[in-house]
């Protein structure tokens, strides 16, 4: 019981850190999220809200993340 009292702050920080990592990974490597961002980016270009140069930079980054997400997903499937 006493050990739990001393480790509780560390366990809590660890738990919160894991949740934050999950959310960051979801934002960065979730295929659906990336697809939505690509569609939004395309719409912004068509509405002339962003320059073509900015569009190309953002698109390149999103496509890089998309490829990484696909690779990660394939690796997870192979592990199963």
Q: CA 29 to CA 32: how far, in whole Å? A: 9
Conformational region of residue 48, where left means phi above 0, alpha means psi within -120 to 50, and beta covers everything else: left
| Location of structure tokens 């690509």 | 38
pLDDT of residue 60: 98
* Residue-range domain boundaries for the chain: 2-79
Condensed to tens digits (0 to 9), the pLDDT of residues 40-63 reads: 999 999 999 999 999 999 999 999
pLDDT of residue 66: 95
């Amino acid at each position: 019981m006493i050990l739990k009292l001393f480790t509780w702050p560390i366990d809590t920080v660890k738990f919160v850190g894991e949740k934050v990592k999950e959310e960051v990974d979801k934002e960065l490597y979730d295929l659906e999220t990336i697809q939505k961002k690509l569609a939004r980016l395309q719409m912004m270009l068509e509405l002339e809200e962003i320059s073509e140069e900015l569009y190309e930079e953002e698109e390149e980054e999103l496509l890089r993340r998309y490829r990484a997400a696909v690779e990660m997903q394939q690796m997870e499937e192979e592990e199963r």
